[in-house]
Amino acid sequence: MELLEVKGLKKYFPVKGGFLSKTVNYVKAVDGVSFNVKQGKTLGLVGESGCGKSTTGRTILRLYEPTEGAIYFEGIDIVTLDKEKLRAKRKDMQIIFQDPYASLNPRLTAGEIIGRAIDIHNIARGKERQRRILQLLDVVGLKREHYNRYPNEFSGGQRQRIGIARALAVNPKLIVCDEPISALDVSIQAQIINLLKDIQEQFHLTYVFIAHNLAVVKHISDDVAVMYLGKIVEMAEKDELFLRPQHPYTAALLSAIPIPDPSKKHSRIRLEGDVPSPINLPPGCRFATRCPERTSICDEVEPDLIDIGGHMVACHHRR
Amino acid sequence: MDTLLKVNSLKTYFYTIDGVMPAVDDVSFEVMRGETLGIVGESGSGKSVTALSIMRLVPHPPGRIVGGSINFKGDELLTKKEYEMRMIRGNKIAMIFQDPMTSLNPLFTIGDQIIEALVTHQDLSRREARDRAIEMLKLVGIPSPEKRVDDYPHQMSGGMRQRVMIAMGLSCRPDLLIADEPTTALDVTIQAQILELISEMKQKMNMSVIIITHDLGVVAEVADRVVVMYAGRVMEYGSVKDVFSMPLHPYTRGLMDSIPKIDVNEDRLKSIEGTLPTLTEKFKGCRFKDRCVMADRVCHEEEPPIVEIDNRQVRCFKYI
Ligand SMILES: Nc1ncnc2c1ncn2[C@@H]1O[C@H](COP(=O)(O)OP(=O)(O)OP(=O)(O)O)[C@@H](O)[C@H]1O
Ligand SMILES: Nc1ncnc2c1ncn2[C@@H]1O[C@H](COP(=O)(O)OP(=O)(O)O)[C@@H](O)[C@H]1O
Ligand code: SF4
Ligand code: SF4
Ligand SMILES: [Mg+2]
Ligand SMILES: [Mg+2]
């Protein structure tokens, strides 16, 4: 069953300028993105900084109002919900942020942070609330004595655990994980990835997992979507995508990963040229400025994302 | 190959209200001419402080170099006067910092900043320096350098700023380039370009490089030898080939195991449980003991010395 269906999602941010602060242009952060995620599965969302991953993640939860498009959660388009109904739905959809430092209130203890989440949706009170907080601390691998500590007394990995406990507090169905491990050390990253996998199984969670590390995405995802400048350029089941990358950008991305094995010197696809500004997109394919396979049609016509057999690709030369 | 830099028993401590923090504690390594040395370890293990010590830029107070020696081209750096160090910094030893935005001055064009460095260190007129600046920007792959030279830092993307930093670092043709996490903030495709650029420049100028990173993949790709640091100590030191094919120290092994590999399917990642200890001078035992799966009684009581086996140095009781 599809838990989440995103159709033609767009999010444009106005660019103000001039002396009356008029809107002079738009950053097309997300520009027509569609995908589905099945109950209990993980969709990995990868791409370079600024390509619109976080904006996609936040817009799905309506933390940003979409400019266009539909977001079906359990069959209901949440874009059409009023404030009250949306608030109730939010309980089912949570987010874990990239920066464990900035995303926790420094004036609340770990226990209070989790408690607040429980209170907002009226999940439990009194003794039951207390029991639940302690249980959540345990689930994410923290100790009872951590209850009364403040965020600055925790390491980055531990703070991320608090963020995970906070998200779990309301029994969500979907969690958008926005680069939950990017700010952490390699040895700590593995701890958090394992934790996320464990709780997914335990609580039947569905994830949209955002990252720019492809190896991490491969490890945790069932399907993977590759974004470039606000669009999905390739999407497939993960083994398919990693074994047979189709889009030239995906291929370059895969070949750029440094491999921690000096005996494997791999050939690298060299990308020349610069990433165009999301305010001033080229008329044709958005990847054309850097693409080694570009031809004249690429500069004129924007390629659609189409199914070429178990594999969605947006490239004129993969048809 | 002759030795360019020899760091011997370096100790850099921080004197804070919580006590004395041995951030770099008895660290030794060498860098040969034309060689790339990688320094890896998790954040807080003392990598940046080691680099700042070589540059003699440790913030004082609270930090101070309290022991050891740093020999550069046969000269002791630790006894140099500040004005002598100023002639070495940026000229003979250049450093690229972790965050290019904080180390470029937002108020000046990138051209002015490179020209400033050149006029200070080299006997060049401003005209010549401007030409050299444009030449360097071209070398690091900035498109239309004669126009971009007048850009301010905020007008460039993260990758371009990092290139400017490299152009600036290389403009005086240093003998040693220290790059502190030069690609951590960048995307993989840009990272690949920057790493390639550093290797290319190194070859063209017969320069030595120290690259600091927590990405073992980066070390495997660019470095000849590697120092693995943990809590202020060198835990393992050897050629990249040896260390990666057979890591000896339990920490190095744990680090390797915790990286998700793109070419293997594993159900669960191996991880190193726990976190870096809080260091004080009175710390007892091996600094890795609380996270080490092989720790036994002696590890909690004494600290292992660093020993040499098969052309490699390792600090662990299992090898004594
Ligand atoms: N609130 C905002 N106002 C204006 N522009 C924004 C806003 N948030 C994001 N953008 C722009 O939208 C684009 C996409 O940003 P987004 O944060 O979604 O990228 P990302 O893929 O998550 O990148 P990263 O990997 O760096 O986190 C960028 O060009 C960004 O500058
Ligand atoms: N200015 C400072 N004052 C106090 N402690 C510092 C200072 N700079 C670094 N340290 C401490 O020194 C240790 C090593 O830091 P650093 O070399 O920056 O680590 P990394 O390996 O991440 O580069 C850390 O515990 C850090 O908190
Ligand atoms: S459409 Fe053209 S420019 Fe775009 S990815 Fe395909 S070949 Fe490259
Ligand atoms: S000395 Fe003991 S605790 Fe330290 S790394 Fe070796 S086995 Fe582990
Ligand atoms: Mg983001
Ligand atoms: Mg550092």
Confidence band for B72, pLDDT divided at 50, 70 and 90: very high
Does residue A140 contact residue A161 with C-beta atoms inside 8 Å? yes
Is 90 exceeded by the pLDDT of residue B192? Answer: no
* Cα–Cα dist B266/B259, whole Å: 11
Give the distance (Å) from ligand 6 centre to CA of residue B52: 10
For residue B228, give the ligand nearest its CA.
2
For residue B307, give the ligand nearest its CA.
4
Q: Which of A57-66, A104-113, A127-136, A251-260 has the lowest mean pLDDT?
A: A251-260
* Cα–Cα dist A110/A118, whole Å: 13
* B80-133 residue pLDDT tens: 999 999 999 988 999 988 766 667 888 999 999 999 888 888 888 999 999 999
Helices (H), A263-306: 296-300
* Cα–Cα dist A180/A37, whole Å: 19
The secondary structure of B167-199, three-state, reads: HHHHCCCCCEEEEECCCCCCCHHHHHHHHHHHH
Residues 263-282 of B with CB under 8 A from A: 263, 265-266, 268-273, 275-276
Assess whether the C-beta atom of A206 lies below 6 angstroms from ligand 1. Answer: no
Reading the block at residue A213, the tokens are 């590390």
Does residue A294 contact residue A288 with C-beta atoms inside 8 Å? yes
Reading the block at residue B1, the tokens are 């190959």
Asked if the C-beta of A278 comes within 8 angstroms of chain B's C-beta atoms, the answer is: no
Q: What is the mean pLDDT of chain A?
A: 91
Is 70 exceeded by the pLDDT of residue B2? Answer: yes
Confidence band for B287, pLDDT divided at 50, 70 and 90: very high
Return the SS3 of A263. coil
Write the CB contacts of B216 (distance below 8 Å, at least 6 apart in sequence). Answer: A186, A260, B40, B244, B255, B256, B259
Return the SS3 of A232. strand
Confidence band for B169, pLDDT divided at 50, 70 and 90: confident
Task: Provide the shortest C-alpha distance from residue A193 to chain B (in Å).
Answer: 8
Reading the block at residue B70, the tokens are 């740093």
Question: What was the pLDDT predicted at B100?
Answer: 60
The phi-psi region of residue B42 (left if phi > 0; otherwise alpha if psi is between -120 and 50; otherwise beta) is beta
Instruction: Indicate which atom in ligand 4 lies nearest the CA of residue B298.
Output: 2
Asked if the C-beta of A182 comes within 8 angstroms of chain B's C-beta atoms, the answer is: no
Question: What was the pLDDT predicted at B162?
Answer: 81
Q: Which of B189, B244, B265 sits opposite A256 (nearest CB)?
A: B189
Mutate to test the interface with A, among B262, B273, B290 (most CBs of A within 10 A): B262
ipTM for the complex shown: 0.79
Domains in chain A with CATH codes:
2-313 (3.40.50.300)
Does a cis peptide bond (omega within 30 degrees of 0) precede residue B61? yes
Give the residue with greater pLDDT, A232 vs B165: A232
Q: Do B42 and A218 touch (CB under 8 A)?
A: no
Question: What was the pLDDT predicted at B304?
Answer: 97
Question: What are the backbone dihedrals phi and psi of residue B14, each rounded to the nearest 5 degrees, phi first?
Answer: -110, 130
Question: What was the pLDDT predicted at A212?
Answer: 81
Measured CA to CA in angstroms, residue A272 lies from B142, B158, B190 at distances of 11, 16, 10
* For range B56-84, the mean pLDDT: 95
Return the SS3 of B212. strand
Q: Which of B147-151, B159-163, B288-292 has the lowest mean pLDDT?
A: B159-163
Question: What was the pLDDT predicted at B43?
Answer: 83
Q: Report which listed range, A78-92, B151-165, B260-274, is most confident.
A: A78-92
Q: Which of B187, B192, B258 sits opposite A187 (nearest CB)?
A: B258
Does residue B67 contact residue B10 with C-beta atoms inside 8 Å? yes
